């Protein structure tokens, strides 16, 4: 049941209506049943997995709180149990392939076992939520003693498949509030849902057409084409994941619940660290709080800080998928974060004037450079293999020279004919960049008033029509569903 499917457009209103006519004490059980139905709609056996993990964590984490001398031991057991479960489902094939490749290098021919493991949707997200809960209890935060509340924290259907990664101390207290129905919930919730679907169907799915063509057959495209294809994917993954997050937050808001914001205009970031404060915020803060800081954070010297950044981002890359190109993408992110810190250190050594660093020109150049560093990373992320990514990047490196003999009729990417965006790609990409920058300015100005309810309904209906007309023939899954 995809967020952008007809089934979900029926499922959500039904659960919404049942929720608000149900007495408060039965609302959590109702949402719990709905969440399990949602999860089991993919595969019924998934329900057994999430229930087993929920029950195991609910029973084991209290041992951390009760123990006086063995808190670390119990924490280690809980974290290991969660990571082993994640490892079995997500990294078994990757591990077997790595062993086979290693043995082959030594001249040993090993026949790997035939594994029949299906990766459960969302397992990376709710395992991280369980680990967060265990660590916070270890640090002295209170236990969740209501099993139904804890179960809903783990399985809440709006955030179940691809986050945002929730913090239990933020989510659980909302379940005990005897909230009354407010039209504001519908207003804000529907606004988020429609904006999310628009980002997904109108923008991400159409940008995916050019990204798919380019990354499937990169050898058919010039260096300038490949940069346009990379820009297309950069905005595809942003609108896809930000669109999913909007639908998730909007769905939760219909029931009066708030879940974390996951994006804050990441492509206006002025450096790599700023990018990760704006991109997939619930994951980046999780990696900071439960990996980077426990490793030592930035408390040591520059070498140890760099080591901690490198390890954190490399593991963050592997979290996205059991493939070498995800690991390389994570390593690359660690490297550019380290380079940013070294650049800061260099500007301090050279005593670069503060007026230069705070100037508008410096800021604009920083945003442009950061965006292109991020785009290079997206090539590793999107390409099927590291080899393909390196071939693409090698070709893309010649773009500055190729631009001298460049003409529009040489662009192969403009010869693709598909819904909505072609051949207007050259106008769409700059337009998206300008819109990305303009949102902040418009929000700061606040020169408009919210339109009347009738106008809002009209806009919503018109938007739904546009979503139907301009959506590709088969709208793909949200990208982060695979993680």
The catalytic site residues sit at: 320
Contact 127, 86 (CB under 8 A): yes
The rounded distance, in Å, linking the Cα atoms of 37 and 35 is 5
The rounded distance, in Å, linking the Cα atoms of 457 and 358 is 44
The rounded distance, in Å, linking the Cα atoms of 419 and 422 is 7
Around 142, how many Cα atoms within 13 Å sit in the side-chain half-sphere? 8
CB contact set of 478 (below 8 Å; sequence gap of 6+): 2, 3, 4, 161, 162, 200, 240, 241, 243, 244
138: which 2 tokens?
A: 């270890």
Indicate the angle between helix axes 27-40 and 147-155, nearest 10 degrees.
40
267: which 2 tokens?
A: 């492509």
The rounded distance, in Å, linking the Cα atoms of 438 and 436 is 6
The rounded distance, in Å, linking the Cα atoms of 213 and 219 is 11
| Helix ranges (DSSP H) in 262-359 | 272-278, 281-287, 293-295, 302-320, 324-349, 354-357
> Any idea which residue has 């945003």 for tokens?
367
Q: Using alpha carbons, select from 100, 107, 99, 56 the residue that is nearest to residue 78.
A: 56
Indicate the angle between helix axes 147-155 and 46-66, nearest 10 degrees.
130
The rounded distance, in Å, linking the Cα atoms of 154 and 148 is 10
Which region, left, alpha or beta, applies to residue 196 given φ > 0 means left and ψ of -120 to 50 means alpha? Answer: alpha
312: which 2 tokens?
A: 């954190």
The rounded distance, in Å, linking the Cα atoms of 158 and 189 is 12
The rounded distance, in Å, linking the Cα atoms of 209 and 474 is 11
């Amino acid at each position: 049941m995809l967020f952008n499917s007809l089934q979900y457009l029926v499922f959500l209103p039904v659960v919404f209506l049942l929720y608000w006519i149900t007495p408060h004490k039965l609302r959590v059980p109702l949402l719990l049943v709905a969440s399990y139905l949602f999860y089991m709609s993919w595969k019924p056996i998934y329900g057994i997995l999430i229930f087993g993990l929920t029950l195991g964590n609910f029973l084991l984490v209290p041992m951390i709180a009760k123990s006086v001398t063995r808190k670390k031991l119990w924490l280690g057991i809980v974290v290991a149990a969660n990571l082993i479960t994640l490892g079995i489902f997500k990294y078994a094939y990757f591990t077997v392939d790595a062993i086979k490749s290693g043995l082959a290098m030594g001249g040993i021919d090993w026949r790997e076992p035939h594994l029949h493991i299906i990766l459960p949707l969302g397992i990376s997200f709710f395992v991280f939520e369980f680990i967060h809960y265990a660590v916070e209890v270890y640090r002295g935060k209170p236990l969740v003693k209501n099993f139904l509340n804890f179960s809903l924290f783990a399985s809440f259907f709006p955030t179940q498949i691809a986050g945002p990664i929730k913090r239990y101390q933020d989510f659980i207290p909302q379940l005990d509030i005897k909230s009354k129905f407010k039209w504001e919930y519908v207003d804000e919730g529907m606004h988020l849902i429609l904006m999310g679907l628009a980002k997904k169907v109108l923008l991400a799915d159409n940008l995916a057409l050019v990204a798919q063509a380019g990354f499937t057959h990169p050898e058919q495209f010039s260096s300038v084409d490949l940069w346009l294809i990379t820009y297309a994917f950069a905005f595809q993954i942003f609108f896809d994941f930000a669109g999913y997050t909007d639908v998730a937050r909007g769905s939760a808001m219909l029931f009066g619940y708030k879940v974390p914001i996951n994006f804050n205009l990441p492509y206006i970031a002025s450096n790599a660290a700023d990018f990760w404060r704006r991109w997939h915020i619930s994951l980046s803060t999780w990696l900071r709080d439960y990996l980077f800081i426990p490793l030592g954070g930035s408390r040591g010297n520059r070498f140890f800080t760099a080591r901690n950044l490198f390890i954190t981002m490399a593991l963050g890359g592997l979290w996205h998928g059991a493939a070498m190109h995800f690991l390389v993408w994570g390593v690359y992110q660690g490297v550019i974060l380290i380079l940013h810190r070294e650049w800061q250190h260099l500007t301090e050594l050279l005593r670069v004037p503060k007026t230069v660093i705070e100037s508008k020109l410096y800021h604009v150049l920083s945003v442009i450079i950061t965006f292109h560093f991020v785009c290079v990373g997206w090539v590793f992320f999107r390409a099927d293999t590291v080899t393909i990514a390196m071939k693409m990047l090698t070709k893309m490196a010649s773009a500055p020279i190729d631009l001298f003999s460049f003409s529009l009729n040489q662009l192969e990417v403009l010869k693709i004919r598909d819904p909505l965006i072609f051949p207007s790609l050259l106008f769409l990409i700059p337009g998206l960049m300008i819109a990305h920058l303009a949102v902040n300015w418009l929000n700061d100005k606040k020169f408009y008033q919210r339109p009347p309810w009738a106008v809002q309904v009209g806009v919503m209906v018109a938007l739904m029509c546009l979503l139907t007309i301009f959506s590709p023939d088969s709208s793909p899954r949200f990208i982060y569903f695979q993680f």
